[in-house]
């Protein structure tokens, strides 16, 4: 252990952001079970999970001075994408620049499938610009691009069991957060250089339409779930009642539209390749989470 200013430098410590959240929390728990030293970078220190081998530091991405202090001494950083916000790219850029300035040598970024400057899913554009910024810094990187989360699929159905949106008959390979976390752990704990410069699509085992998806949900939970295709305008109108800002409504509706265009129609071997186990299916997920549709009335 050496000292740099007031901050301790511990080599081979992995920095984990989003550790109070679903994916980052899973990654942190898995690393702790493996006995890996880690620094959990959280927005609220009181909510940092208590894990063997883990220390915690408090910083939001946009508080670049605090973030720089928080990551100092970590050499690999898992950067979990921030909660959707109008200025999310700026938040990410602040965190990346602070990490590079603090001496982080590798960033593993939790991006999103089909990230592109003109991606149909408007939130995926943020991921493209964040990836581009990470590349521009020259830091070693790996981009993990998960598909839509299987864990959130039950909430695509409202309390009447209706999944409504402009997804047409496009396909998506829903992926579980457990698989995303397993893939991230495989990359974070690999020998230096193994995954540098690589981009991995992280998907489920099979791409299905929303019609097929609701049929499976119904068959497996015995709850009536159906898919109601909407036009783009209908999708915006049906969501405006929520009072959410227009950028959020567009992001929400465009996650369906990206299914319709085929941008989500990707099945990648990355989960089995990186983790050594098959990717979880809708059936497998519901067997593990049998009460996932409790909010839907029978």
- Positions touching ligand NAP (CB under 6 A) are 17-18, 20-24, 43-44, 60-62, 80-83, 91, 110, 112, 146, 148-149, 152, 177
Least Å distance, CB 13 to ligand NAP, is: 18
Least Å distance, CB 172 to ligand NAP, is: 10
Residue closer to ligand NAP by CB (options 156, 227) is 156
Quote the DSSP letter at residue 152: G
Kind of pairing between the strands at 162-165 and 208-209: unpaired
- Cα 19 to its chain centre, rounded Å, is 12
Position of tokens 């969501």? 239
Residue closer to ligand NAP by CB (options 124, 296) is 124
Evaluate whether 252 touches 244 at the Cβ level (below 8 Å): yes
Spatial CA neighbour of 145 closest among 134, 160, 136, 161: 134
Q: Which two tokens stand for residue 58?
A: 């408090």
Least Å distance, CB 47 to ligand NAP, is: 6
Least Å distance, CB 222 to ligand NAP, is: 25
Residue closer to ligand NAP by CB (options 155, 194) is 155
Residue closer to ligand NAP by CB (options 26, 191) is 26
Provide the 3-class DSSP secondary structure of residue 286. Answer: helix
Least Å distance, CB 162 to ligand NAP, is: 19
Query: Which residue of the chain is nearest ligand NAP when measured via CB?
Result: 21
Provide the 10 A C-beta neighbour count for residue 5.
8
Residue closer to ligand NAP by CB (options 83, 231) is 83
Residue closer to ligand NAP by CB (options 192, 245) is 245
Least Å distance, CB 191 to ligand NAP, is: 26
Quote the DSSP letter at residue 262: T
Evaluate whether 81 touches 112 at the Cβ level (below 8 Å): yes
Largest CA distance in the chain: 61
């Amino acid at each position: 252990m050496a000292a740099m200013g007031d901050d301790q430098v511990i080599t081979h410590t992995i920095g984990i952001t989003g550790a109070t959240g679903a994916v980052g929390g899973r990654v942190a728990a898995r690393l702790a079970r493996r006995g890996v030293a880690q620094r959990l970078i959280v927005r609220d220190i009181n909510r940092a999970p208590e894990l063997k081998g883990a220390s915690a530091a408090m910083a939001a991405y946009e508080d670049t001075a605090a973030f720089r202090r928080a990551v100092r001494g970590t050499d690999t950083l898992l950067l979990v994408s921030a909660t959707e916000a109008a200025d999310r790219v700026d938040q990410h850029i602040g965190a990346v620049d602070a990490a590079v300035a603090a001496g982080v040598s590798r960033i593993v970024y939790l991006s999103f499938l089909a990230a592109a400057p003109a991606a149909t899913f408007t939130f995926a554009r943020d991921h493209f610009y964040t990836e581009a910024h990470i590349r521009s810094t020259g830091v070693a990187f790996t981009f993990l691009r998960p598909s839509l989360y299987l864990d959130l699929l039950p909430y695509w159905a409202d309390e009447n069991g209706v999944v409504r949106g402009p997804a047409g008959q496009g396909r998506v390979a829903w992926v579980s957060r457990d698989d995303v976390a397993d893939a991230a752990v495989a990359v974070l704990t690999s020998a230096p250089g193994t995954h540098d410069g690589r981009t991995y699509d992280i998907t489920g085992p099979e791409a299905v339409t929303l019609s097929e998806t609701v049929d499976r949900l119904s068959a497996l939970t015995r709850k009536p779930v159906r898919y109601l295709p909407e036009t783009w305008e209908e999708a915006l109108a049906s969501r405006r009642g929520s009072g959410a800002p227009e950028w959020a409504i567009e992001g929400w509706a465009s996650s369906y539209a990206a299914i319709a265009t085929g941008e989500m129609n990707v099945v990648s071997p990355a989960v089995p390749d990186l983790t050594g186990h098959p990717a979880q299916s809708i059936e497998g997920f519901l067997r593990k989470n049998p009460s996932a549709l409790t909010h839907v009335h029978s």
